[in-house]
Amino acid sequence: MARTWDDPGQRTVRTRIAGAACILTLLHVVPACDHGIRLLGPNDGGEPPGFDAPDAGGADADAPDADARRDDVHDPDGDLDHEAPFDGRFERPDGYCPTPGFPRYTYAENGAYALPTAAGPAPLARRRPILSWGTIGGGCDNPIFDLEMDDSCRPDALADCAFPSPELQVFDLAVTRWTPTRDLPVPDRVPVGRRYAWRLRGCCPGNCCTEWNRPRYVELGRQPNDLNGDGYGDLLVGAPGDGAAGDPPGTVFVFLGGPAPDERPEHVLAGAASGDRFGAAVAWLRDLDADGFADFGTASPGVTTVQIFRGSADRAPEPVFDARLPGAPSGPRPAAAGDFDGDGFADAVATAPPGETGEGWSGVLRGGTRPGADLWSISGIGYPTGGPWAAGVGDQVGNGFATVAAGVPRLAPEPPECPQGSVMLFDGAAALSDVGVDGFEGARHAGECRARFGQSVAAPGDVNEDGFDDVLVGDGDYPEYGLTGRALVYFGPLPPGWPGIAEPALVDRADDWDTGFAEALAGVGDLNRDGHVDLAVGAPREGGFGKVHLYLGTGTTGAYVEVVLDAPLGSPAGFGAAVAGARDVNGDGFDDVLVGAPGAGSETGAAYVYFGGDPPRPVPALVLRGREPGDRFGASVN
d(CA 440, CA 201): 33
3-class state of residue 579 by DSSP: strand
Q: What are phi and psi of 158, to 5 degrees?
A: -60, -45
- Helix or strand holding residue 600 (H, E): helix 600-603
Report residue 24's pLDDT band, with 50, 70 and 90 as the boundaries.
very low
3-class DSSP state of 268? strand
Beta bridge partners of 579: 595
pLDDT at 478: 61
Contact 266, 314 (CB under 8 A): no
At 513, the amino acid letter reads: W
For 307-319, the pLDDT digits (tens) are 999 999 999 998 8
Q: What is the mean pLDDT of residues 81-105?
A: 49
Average pLDDT of 587-593?
Answer: 96
| Rounded Cα distance, 324 and 327, in Å | 9
Per-residue 3-state assignment (H helix, E strand, C coil) for 344-368:
CCCEEEEEECCCCCCCCEEEEEECC
Rounded (to 5) percent helix, strand, coil in the chain? 5, 35, 60
pLDDT at 413 over 70: no
pLDDT for position 570: 67
The stretch 155-178 carries a mean pLDDT of 93
Confidence of residue 106 (pLDDT cuts 50, 70, 90): confident
Give residues with Cβ within 8 angstroms of 446, minimum separation 6.
none
Binning pLDDT at 50, 70 and 90, where does residue 68 land?
Answer: very low
Q: What is the 3-state secondary structure (H, E, C) of 478-507?
A: CHHHCCCCEEEEECCCCCCCCCCCCCCEEE
> Which of 28-32, 404-408, 569-573 is predicted with the least confidence, judged by mean pLDDT?
28-32
User: What pTM does this model have?
Assistant: 0.82
pLDDT of residue 200: 94
Highest-confidence segment of 113-127, 144-158, 388-402: 144-158
CA 85 to each of CA 35, 75, 90: distance values in angstroms, whole numbers, following the listed order: 17, 10, 11
Mean pLDDT over residues 14-19, rounded? 31
At residue 102, the pLDDT reads 79
Name the burial class of residue 566, with classes exposed (0-12), middle (13-18) and buried (19+) by CB atoms within 10 angstroms of its CB: middle
Query: What confidence category does residue 271 fall into, taking pLDDT thresholds of 50, 70 and 90?
Result: very high
Q: What number of residues does the chain have? A: 638
Tell me, what's the pLDDT at 53?
Answer: 31
Q: What is the pLDDT of residue 383?
A: 40
Q: pLDDT confidence of 414, banded at 50, 70, 90?
A: low
pLDDT tens digits, one per residue of 559-569: 899 999 999 97
Domain boundaries, the chain: 524-638
pLDDT for the residue numbered 40: 30
The predicted structure's pLDDT at residue 330: 63
Q: Please name every residue paired with 136 in a beta bridge, in sequence order, or none if there are none.
A: 102
pLDDT of residue 26: 25
pLDDT above 50: residue 411:
yes
Q: Which of 5-19, 26-40, 488-502, 573-587 has the highest mean pLDDT?
A: 573-587
| CA proximity to 19, closest of 144, 145, 206 | 206
Q: What is the pLDDT of residue 402?
A: 85
Position with higher pLDDT, 120 vs 386: 120
In three-state form (DSSP H/G/I as H, E/B as E, the rest C), the secondary structure along 114-180 is CCCCCCCCHHHHCCCCCEEEEEECCCCCCCEEEEEEECCCCHHHHHHCCCCCCCEEEEEECCCEECC
State the average pLDDT over residues 101-123: 86
pLDDT in tens, 212-261: 999 999 999 999 999 999 999 999 999 999 987 778 999 999 999 999 99
Q: Averaging pLDDT over each range in 454-463, 471-480, 483-492, 600-609, which range is the top one? A: 600-609
- 23 contact partners, CB below 8 Å, separation of at least 6: 3, 12, 14
Predicted local confidence at residue 351, as pLDDT:
81
* Residue 408 β-bridge partners: 422
In degrees rounded to 5, what are phi and psi of residue 544? 90, -25
Model confidence over 352-404: pLDDT tens digits?
Answer: 776 655 566 677 788 887 766 555 444 333 344 455 677 888 887 777 788 88
Query: Quick check: 593 pLDDT over 90?
Result: yes
